[in-house]
Structure 1
Amino acid sequence: MKIKFIGGAGTVTGSKTLVESNGIRILIDCGQFQGIKPLRELNWEPLPILPSSIDFVLLTHGHLDHCGWLPRLVNQGFEGKIYCTSPTKDITKLILLDSAKIQEEEANKANEEHYSKHDIAEPLYTVAQAEKVFPHFRIIKTNEIINLDAEISAVYSNAGHIIGACTIELSLENKTLVFSGDIGRDNDLLVFAPVKPKKADYIFLESTYGNRLHPDTDVMAELEMCINSTVLKGGSIIIPSFAVERAQTVMYLLWLLKEEGKIPNIPYIIDTPMGIKVLDVFSNNRNWHKLPEEQFVAMCKMFTMITDYQETIDTIYNKQPKVVIAASGMITGGRVLSYLEQYIGLPETTVIIIGYQAEGTRGRKLLEGAKEIKIYGRYYDVKANILEIESLSAHADQKGLLNWLSELKAKPKKVFLVHGENQPADELRIKIKEQYGFDCTVPLMGQEIEL
């Protein structure tokens, strides 16, 4: 059996792990690279194997860094099946269509305003190419055995993180391989706690927060203080958010605060068409989350939901204090850029960063104290107050990742730490070795191993 780390090794993006056994090729996730330019450029490179030779894709969940390269895969010849849960299918469709639309729009804008270094800027893929992915989906349920081949089977189990996210247990050649996907938190507000594996010969574990512990702070108190102090100055609060899960979590927290009378009666806006559509995924998959229907309905009524871009423009130029949740979470694209063009230079503005910010993203630069950021070819001075609320992360921290390994009945032969930058992954490797004595390694991008 061969394992090749095509993406998500040494980085938190572009997750792709190839498993090859007895002539069958299985790709675990098919993510898009984000962040620094050398990583983004990898999206344009061909895979080290022909996409047409891949038999199956097993998706852990629907975030762009795990599913965003599927249109390229299909466009380059993949004809197999893509297995995932029902919420993951719905979210992946939304993510891919949104990604394709943004790429088309940005390519057109670059061509119109001539700020691309290329003669003609092109999108990584188009909406039409994204739509060609959809017929390949096959829906599975958790805890059911999927027979991929006479001697290869897979079982999905809940991973927390976002609605529909799963860990995959792959059985082949008398070995059990467990792919964690992204592991959520045991105390997440909206989704259920991740299921811990009981057996594994080899584990492929994410390490996004491998060297960090989430602060044990009162996130509602932080939001309350931030909103009230900003409104007192006459400013607005801009919350760049991942459209899936984080946007809905922030909506729920703000609804709770408003119900308790702790935040003012100002406009509360969600301006992410995809995030609004994700509310339908929550509504249609009630067994996948904790939110009672009556609270869900009341929460939605509190927010002004913007889908039309003209409404975005009108909202931007209305200087009334407001709270705006807008995608994207790492400020790599989407409507949040339009808000930041107008608001990042105002000292009364507060920008709240609520999720992981990959290396090279605007979000990471803001957290690192950047004095200016580049948006659509222009530089803008950063005068707004930049606040990070780490407690809202959808990823397990170092303690959570270690705990996820705690119910294994026998020592695995090896643990591979993927989907993490090098330092967090290596610090987690040391902790796993100290706590459990497991043989643990951090693979390199492009590395191939035999099991």
Structure 2
Amino acid sequence: MKIRFIGGAGTVTGSKTLIESNGVRILVDCGLFQGIKALRELNWEPLPILPSSIDYVLLTHGHLDHCGWLPRLVAEGFEGKIYCSGPTKEITKLILLDSAKIQEEEARLANEKKFSKHEVAEPLYTVDQAKAVFPLFRIAAIEESIPLDAEINAVFSNAGHILGACSIALHIENQILVFSGDIGRDNDILMFPPTKPKQADYVFLESTYGNRIHPTSDAKFELEAYVNNAVDRGGTLIIPSFAVERAQTLMYLLWQLKEEGRIPNIPYIIDTPMGINALDIFSNNKKWHKLSIEALEGMNKMFLLVSDYQESLSVIYDQQPKVVIAASGMVTGGRVLSYLEHYIGLSETTIIIVGYQAEGTRGRKLLEGAKEIKIHGKYHPVLANILEIKGLSAHGDQNDLLHWLSDLEVKPKKIFIVHGENEPADELRIKIQEKYCYDCSVAMMGQEFEL
């Protein structure tokens, strides 16, 4: 049996791990590379194997860095089955359609405004190519063994993180390979704690926050203070947000604050069609999250739900103080760019960063104090007040990741650290060795191992 790390190793994006056994090829996740240009350019490169030779894709969850390359995989010949949880199927469909629309729009703008280095800018994939993925989905019921081949079975378990997110145990060649996916927090606002594995010969563990401990500060209190300060400044508060889970968490906290009379009666807007559609997925999958029917209904009533771009323009040019939640979470694309083009150069504007920002993204640059950022080929001065709420991450921190390993009944043969930048990945490796004395190494892109 061979394991090859095609993506999501040495970086937090582009997750793709290939397993080959007795002529069967299985790809765990098929993510898009994001962040620095060198990583983004990998999206245009062919896989080191023919997509048509892959039999199955096992999808841990619906974030772009885990599912966003599926349209390319299918366009280049993959015809197998894609297994994932029910909510992940619905979320991935939203994510892929949104991603395709953004890429088509950015290619159109690049051609119109001539800011592409290419003679003709093309999208990585189109809406039609995204739709071509959908017939390949198969629903994986939680904690049920799914036969992939005569001697290969997969079991999906709740991972927290976002709606439908799972870890995957692959039973293959009389061994158990456990792929963590992205692990949620033990005390998340919306999601239930992740299910910890009990048996594993090999573990592939994410390390996004492998060197970080989440603050114990009250994120709800911070949000209250930032909203009130923004209103006192007479400006607009913009929160770039992931459309799934993070947007709903923010809506829930703001709804609570409003119900408690702690923030003023101003417009509260969610401007992400995908985030709005995700509310329906939350309503239809109540067993996957903690939100009550009352909360879901209250959130819907409190927020102006903007899905049409003309509505977005009306909100953008409305000068009154307001709170806007808009995708994307790392400021790499989406509606939030239109808001930033208009507002980031105004000193009364407040921008709150509320999630992980990969290397090279606009969100990371804003956190690092950039004086200007480039949007649609033009540089804009950063005069807005840039703030951060660290306590809203959907990723488990170092303690959560260590705790996730605590129920293993037998010492695994090896733990591979994946899905993390080099420093957090290596620090998590050291902590695991200190705490559990497990054989542990950091996987790097392109590496191949025989198990």
TM-score scaled by length of structure 1: 1.00
Give the aligned partner of residue 376 of structure 1: 376
User: Post-superposition shift, 1:444?
Assistant: 1.1
Taking the aligned partners of 1:396 and 1:147, their CA distance within structure 2 comes to 30
Give the aligned partner of residue 416 of structure 2: 416
User: Post-superposition shift, 1:406?
Assistant: 0.7
Give the aligned partner of residue 95 of structure 2: 95
Q: Percent identity?
A: 75
1:266-277 alignment runs, 5 A limit: 266-277=266-277
1:38 aligned partner, one-letter code? A
Tell me whether 1:65 sits opposite 2:65 in the alignment.
Answer: yes
**1:434 match: secondary structure:** helix
Tell me whether 1:179 sits opposite 2:184 in the alignment.
Answer: no
Deviations 1:342-377 (A, max 9, x none): 111111111000000000000000000000000000
Taking the aligned partners of 1:390 and 1:156, their CA distance within structure 2 comes to 29
1:360-371 alignment runs, 5 A limit: 360-371=360-371
Taking the aligned partners of 1:267 and 1:189, their CA distance within structure 2 comes to 24
Give the aligned partner of residue 390 of structure 1: 390
**1:277 match: secondary structure:** helix
1:418 aligned partner, one-letter code? V
2:269 aligned partner, one-letter code? I
Taking the aligned partners of 2:105 and 2:380, their CA distance within structure 1 comes to 21
Give the aligned partner of residue 278 of structure 1: 278
Taking the aligned partners of 1:160 and 1:400, their CA distance within structure 2 comes to 11
Taking the aligned partners of 1:203 and 1:275, their CA distance within structure 2 comes to 32
Structure 1 window deviating more from structure 2 (182-191 vs 250-259): it is 182-191
Taking the aligned partners of 1:119 and 1:289, their CA distance within structure 2 comes to 47
Taking the aligned partners of 2:443 and 2:313, their CA distance within structure 1 comes to 46
**1:423 match: secondary structure:** helix
Structure 1 runs of 4+ aligned residues shifted over 4 Å read none
Give the aligned partner of residue 428 of structure 1: 428
Taking the aligned partners of 1:417 and 1:425, their CA distance within structure 2 comes to 6
2:180 aligned partner, one-letter code? S
User: Post-superposition shift, 1:190?
Assistant: 1.0
2:316 aligned partner, one-letter code? I
Taking the aligned partners of 1:68 and 1:52, their CA distance within structure 2 comes to 18
Give the aligned partner of residue 208 of structure 1: 208
1:212 aligned partner, one-letter code? R
RMSD of the alignment, in Å? 0.5
User: Post-superposition shift, 1:295?
Assistant: 1.6
Give the aligned partner of residue 50 of structure 1: 50
User: Post-superposition shift, 1:18?
Assistant: 0.1
Taking the aligned partners of 2:334 and 2:347, their CA distance within structure 1 comes to 23
2:195 aligned partner, one-letter code? V
Taking the aligned partners of 1:11 and 1:5, their CA distance within structure 2 comes to 11
Deviations 1:306-357 (A, max 9, x none): 0110111111111100000000000000000000011111111110000000
User: Post-superposition shift, 1:299?
Assistant: 1.3
1:30-41 alignment runs, 5 A limit: 30-41=30-41
Give the aligned partner of residue 401 of structure 1: 401
1:226 aligned partner, one-letter code? Y
User: Post-superposition shift, 1:53?
Assistant: 0.3
1:328-339 alignment runs, 5 A limit: 328-339=328-339
User: Post-superposition shift, 1:90?
Assistant: 0.2
Taking the aligned partners of 2:20 and 2:88, their CA distance within structure 1 comes to 24
Tell me whether 1:318 sits opposite 2:333 in the alignment.
Answer: no
Give the gaps of 5 or more residues in structure 1: none
Give the aligned partner of residue 168 of structure 1: 168
Deviations 1:79-130 (A, max 9, x none): 1000001100000000000000000000000000000000000000000000
Taking the aligned partners of 1:230 and 1:72, their CA distance within structure 2 comes to 42
Give the aligned partner of residue 11 of structure 2: 11
User: Post-superposition shift, 1:140?
Assistant: 1.3
1:138-157 alignment runs, 5 A limit: 138-157=138-157
Taking the aligned partners of 1:14 and 1:233, their CA distance within structure 2 comes to 40
Taking the aligned partners of 1:140 and 1:48, their CA distance within structure 2 comes to 28
Give the aligned partner of residue 223 of structure 1: 223
Deviations 1:189-233 (A, max 9, x none): 111110001010000000000011111001111011111011011
Taking the aligned partners of 1:17 and 1:48, their CA distance within structure 2 comes to 12
Give the aligned partner of residue 22 of structure 2: 22
Give the aligned partner of residue 251 of structure 1: 251
**1:426 match: secondary structure:** helix
Taking the aligned partners of 2:229 and 2:135, their CA distance within structure 1 comes to 50
User: Post-superposition shift, 1:298?
Assistant: 1.1
**2:197 match: secondary structure:** coil
1:72 aligned partner, one-letter code? R
**1:109 match: secondary structure:** helix
Tell me whether 1:308 sits opposite 2:316 in the alignment.
Answer: no
Taking the aligned partners of 1:150 and 1:445, their CA distance within structure 2 comes to 30
Taking the aligned partners of 1:247 and 1:241, their CA distance within structure 2 comes to 6
1:377 aligned partner, one-letter code? G
Taking the aligned partners of 2:367 and 2:213, their CA distance within structure 1 comes to 17
Taking the aligned partners of 1:295 and 1:218, their CA distance within structure 2 comes to 20
**2:138 match: secondary structure:** strand
User: Post-superposition shift, 1:381?
Assistant: 0.5
1:130-141 alignment runs, 5 A limit: 130-141=130-141
Taking the aligned partners of 2:414 and 2:152, their CA distance within structure 1 comes to 20
Tell me whether 1:441 sits opposite 2:441 in the alignment.
Answer: yes
Taking the aligned partners of 1:25 and 1:387, their CA distance within structure 2 comes to 45
Give the gaps of 5 or more residues in structure 2: none
